[in-house]
Amino acid sequence: MKSTDAVIEIRGLHKSYGATDAVNGLDLMVRPGRCYGFFGRNGAGKTTTIKCLLNLLKPNQGTVRVFGRDPSKQEVEVKSRLAYVPDQVAFYPWMTVNETLRYLESFRRKWNRDIENDLLERFDLDASKLTTALSKGQRTQLALISAVCPEPELLVLDEPTSGLDPIVRREFIETVIGAYQEADPERRTILVSTHLIREFEGLIDEFTIINNGREVVSMEADTARRQFQRVRARFVHAPPDLAFASPRSMRREGREVEMVLHEAAPELLERLRGYPLESFDVESLSLEEIFVSSLR
Amino acid sequence: MLPYWLGLLVAAIFVHFSATPNDSFWDGHPARMLLVILGAVMGAVSFGVELSSNTLPLLLVQPLSRNRLWWEKMSVFGAALTTASLVMVVRTPWEEGWGWGSGILVDQWSAVVMLWAVALSIPLWTLVAGTALGGTVLGLAGPFILSVPLVALIEITMERRGIDFIRIARVVHTYLSVALPVYALSCFLAAWWRFCHYQAKGNGGDLLAGFAARSTRGRFVFLRSGRDPFWNLVRKEVLLHRVSFVMAGLMTGVWFLFLAMLAIVEGLRGQITDEVKNGTLIPTLSLDGFGIGLFAGPLVIYAMMIPILVGASAVAEERTLGTHLMNLTLPSLRRGQWGIKCLVAVGVSFVLGLVLPCCASVVSSDVRQALGSIPSRELLQLALILTPIQLLMVLAATWASALCQTTLRSAGLATVMIASLFVWTVISLNIGDFWHQGVVSRAVGEMMLHDGLKAAMILLAVFSVVGAVIAFLVLGYRGFRGLERRRWEHWAGFGAVCIFVLFMSQMAGILLGALHGQGQG
């Protein structure tokens, strides 16, 4: 793929706050039509990266391109094609839900009123209510509605589901995000930074895990599921020394051994099967398990 | 509270050494006013910061009784007020002698009473308003709203008995020394009760935001969000200054109350002429006696605070609300947003801080005389001087606002910056005078005689103002646009403004010297 086709292209991003390196030489490329997961522990540098992407922070080194453009130089062009939901949502306290939506609509070329009404109904949000009367979760819902209604080409979500109750969270992820992307699967792209990886499991096409500002793993979700496998073996006798398997993690309990393997060759699995076994299971890891296993 | 405590002590020491019998508290002695403002801010900060950062619920769930938490907070606050009060009054008795005969003691006592009255009422107003800024404004207005009818009432009753002005002033002082502590104590007890019964209602506690919301939903429909992004930004900016509008509203309320009281006084004195009774003449409100001082105090505080408050709210209020990020990610040029922000701030400050007090002063002095003298040359000159000063103040405060996270903090920073710039300007002019052998002083003295010198001075002043305005706009934009705020850049910018002021004063010296020489030749 040509780099000019990428919706987001970050190369060698370096950002420090005083002596602390928040992001250290990060590369990231998000192609159009993808739902891209951006995972990391607290303080890993996710929000800093997103802020550099939105020209809210100036990188110390490296280049950032959104839709092939420099967000610091062509800010309106870039911002008019994306929508952002921050981790901490706030609105003007004197505005109602409806006034807030009208305020935000006035800056957009396109605004889908049908989606707005549908989402207000789904989330059971009263449009005449003052924003100060909304709970934290309801404010997040309002932010999500305001991000989806302009039908942007890129949706940047930073911890979008924090504060949402499980029903609304499921509704949002499965229905809203899914429907948003399905409406134009070739062009609509999502970059989601979250801890609730399990919730986005079915949507993520590709992901990057970062730690201490550096990329740890970056791959397609399906490839990751193929490559990261959990092997559960129950031996007839005491388990043998399995150091040859070089597992990412291993847990022994009596005659049972559980290992997480990365890129386990078929020969390795055959060798394991060669031992006298009571049971032998191989299964793919979920993205959350890959995340935990990668950062351990 | 520590920075405010130190500020309070510095102001108290300044008041202590600068006070003279001729500077009444009510005449608006700037240091005394600053002292009262600092006391108010300190009181507001003790609760307002807890409310805005949402740490009050966290504090209240600690295994300590609310009663104990209240008294621990108040003991720190009380210690700060006590030290400031002691600094102000402790030396006075043996220098001036005890008793009400000492002018300084009476005025220092008034300042101490006002400080305690404002400071002790602030916790209640902060808890009611839900923000430190709202609490400060309401708390500062309270004692003045209380004092105006009381003073007017005393004047009415005593004037009718033919008692002289000096005795009236003393009686007023004595009554206020009782009424204000009663007010302060009532507010303090109410705040104590409110704190012990505090309900964590989440984000619904901002009284002024609720007021603004009711205004926009009600009569002032033009403030509702529309289709045009430009006007939406303008509306939003206007509503960000809601605290300034509330302050202006309170000021106007005090002003009308004051006028009404004076009209009653004149009516009771039997000074209403037949022409007034017939409706052919507007009643004359001649402000003599203690009343004019009472009105001057709040007016000075108000006129000083509005440009600072408006500028300080411009960016920091968005940060306090948490909406700054949302606006920066809107598909609209940041430079444009910054331009609208500055224009609205200058406009609001001009209307509330210059036009409104001017109207108040003009109408309060003498309606007929004022109406006759409005287009006078003196008034226009005064407006020409005040407008650039206010422009500089509001833009300096807007710049400070771009550096701070809260409006109250940015107002504090703006006050320090403006005061520093003022002191530096005076020092710079003196340096210029030294280098050019006193030619600046001589030339300024002759300025009224030579049109050429006057024009040169005005030209330099215009250059200075334009230069400083550009510097504040550029530096403020760098802070506003959301990219990392490097504090050293801003302090370097402030240094550049100071160097610019120094340069301009030297230019003034050279130019005035040349013109002075020509004049002599």
Greater confidence, A263 or A13? A13
How far off is chain A from B234, nearest CA to CA, in Å? 11
Q: What does the block give as tokens for B144?
A: 């003045």
Q: What does the block give as tokens for B142?
A: 């309270």
Greater confidence, A14 or B374? A14
Minimal Cβ distance to B225: which of A58, A95, A108: A95
How far off is chain A from B49, nearest CA to CA, in Å? 18
Does the complex come out with an ipTM higher than 0.85? no
Amino acid B281: pLDDT:
42
Per-window interface: B 179-218 vs A, CB < 8 A: 202-204, 206, 209-210, 212-213, 215-217
Q: What is the DSSP letter of B283?
A: P
- pLDDT single digits (tens) A91-111: 988 888 998 999 999 999 889
Where residue A36 falls among pLDDT bands split at 50, 70, 90? very high
Measure the CA–CA gap between A275 and A233, rounded to whole angstroms. 10
Amino acid B286: pLDDT:
43
Measure the CA–CA gap between B36 and B11, rounded to whole angstroms. 9
Residue A212 backbone phi and psi in degrees, to 5: 50, 40
Residue A106 with chain B: CB contacts under 8 Å: 225-229, 232
Q: What does the block give as tokens for B64?
A: 């300590």
Greater confidence, A270 or A73? A73
How far off is chain B from A89, nearest CA to CA, in Å? 7
Q: What is the DSSP letter of B354?
A: I
Hey, is the C-beta of B436 within 8 angstroms of any chain A C-beta? no
Average pLDDT (A256-283) is 78
Asked if B326's CB is within 8 angstroms of A75's CB, the reply is: no
- B247 Rama sector, left if φ>0, alpha if ψ -120 to 50, beta otherwise: alpha
Asked if A96's CB is within 8 angstroms of B330's CB, the reply is: no
Strand ordering across the sheet containing A189-193: A82-85, A154-158, A189-193, A35-40, A206-211, A214-220
Q: Considering only CA atoms, give the Rg of chain A.
A: 22
The CA–CA distances, whole Å, from B268 to A196, B160, B262 equal 76, 8, 10
Amino acid B50: pLDDT:
75
Tokens 């340069």, residue? B503
Measure the CA–CA gap between B174 and B150, rounded to whole angstroms. 12
Amino acid B99: pLDDT:
44
Amino acid B204: pLDDT:
46
Hey, is the C-beta of A84 within 8 angstroms of any chain B C-beta? yes
Query: Are B414 and B401 contacting, i.e. CB atoms less than 8 angstroms apart?
Result: yes
Q: What are the DSSP calls for chain A, one per residue? A: --GGG-SEEEEEEEEEETTEEEEEEEEEEE-TT-EEEEEE-TTSSHHHHHHHHTTSS--SEEEEEETTB-TTTSHHHHHTTEEEE-SS----TT-BHHHHHHHHHTT-S---HHHHHHHHHHTT--TTSBGGGS-HHHHHHHHHHHHHTT--SEEEEESTTTT--HHHHHIIIIIIIHHHHHTSTTT-EEEEE-S-HHHHTTT-SEEEEEETTEEEEEEEHHHHHHHEEEEEEEESSS----GGG--SEEEEETTEEEEEEES--HHHHHHHHTS-EEEEEEEEPPHHHHHHHHH-
Asked if A57's CB is within 8 angstroms of B334's CB, the reply is: no
Kindly tell me the sign of the dihedral angle through the C-alpha atoms of B436, B442, B448, B449: negative
Give, for all 521 residues of chain B, the pLDDT tens digit. Answer: 676 777 777 766 766 666 554 455 444 455 666 677 777 777 777 777 777 666 777 777 777 788 888 888 888 888 888 887 777 666 554 455 444 444 555 566 777 787 888 888 888 888 888 777 888 888 888 887 777 777 777 766 776 666 666 676 677 777 778 888 899 899 999 988 888 887 766 544 556 666 655 655 544 545 566 678 888 899 889 888 888 888 888 888 777 777 676 666 666 665 555 554 554 444 434 444 445 555 666 676 777 788 988 998 898 888 888 888 888 888 888 899 999 999 999 999 999 888 887 776 666 554 445 444 444 555 556 666 677 788 888 998 998 888 887 887 788 788 777 877 777 776 766 665 555 555 555 555 555 445 555 666 666 677 777 888 888 888 888 888 866 666 676 677 777 777 777 777 666 666 666 655 555 54
Per-window interface: A 93-122 vs B, CB < 8 A: 93-96, 99-100, 102-108
How far off is chain B from A110, nearest CA to CA, in Å? 12
Minimal Cβ distance to B322: which of A56, A57, A88: A88
Amino acid B219: pLDDT:
47
Q: H-helix or E-strand containing B248?
A: helix B242-269
Q: What does the block give as tokens for A132?
A: 């100060």
Amino acid B270: pLDDT:
59
Q: Which residues fall within 8 angstroms of residue A16, CB to CB, at 6 or more apart?
A: A22, A60
- pLDDT single digits (tens) A161-207: 777 788 878 877 877 787 788 788 888 999 999 877 888 888 889 99
Measure the CA–CA gap between A31 and B480, rounded to whole angstroms. 32
Residue B209 with chain A: CB contacts under 8 Å: 93-94, 132
Amino acid B361: pLDDT:
64
Measure the CA–CA gap between A110 and A93, rounded to whole angstroms. 25
Q: pTM for the whole thing?
A: 0.78
Amino acid B362: pLDDT:
64
Whether A256 shows a pLDDT value over 70: the answer reads yes
Measure the CA–CA gap between A25 and A211, rounded to whole angstroms. 12
Asked if A106's CB is within 8 angstroms of B232's CB, the reply is: yes
